[in-house]
A = this chain, B = another copy of it.
Amino acid sequence: MDIKEIEKFLKFNQIKPSHHRLKIYEYLVKNKNHPTVDLIYKELVDEIPTLSKTTVYNTLNLFVEKGAVQLITIDESENRYDADMSIHGHFKCKHCGKVYDFPVKFSAMDMGGLQNFQVEENHIYLKGLCNECQIKKEV
Q: A residues bordering B, Cβ < 8 Å?
A: 71, 73-76, 79, 89, 91, 94, 100-105, 107-131, 134
Contacts and interface: CB of A to CB of B under 8 A. Distances in A.
Contact of A114 (B74, B120, B131): B131
Contact of A109 (B76, B89, B111): B89
Nearest to A114: B102
Given A89-B111, A102-B112, 15 more contacts: A71-B76, A74-B123, A100-B114, A100-B117, A107-B108, A108-B108, A111-B126, A114-B130, A116-B134, A117-B126, A118-B128, A122-B125, A122-B126, A123-B124, A124-B125
Contact of A105 (B94, B100, B109, B114): B109
A111 B129 contact: no
9 contacts: A74-B123, A91-B111, A91-B114, A91-B119, A111-B126, A117-B129, A120-B129, A122-B126, A125-B125
A61 to B, nearest CB: 11
Leading 8 A-B pairs by shortest Cβ distance: A108-B108, A120-B128, A123-B125, A121-B127, A118-B129, A102-B113, A119-B128, A116-B131
B108 A119 contact: no
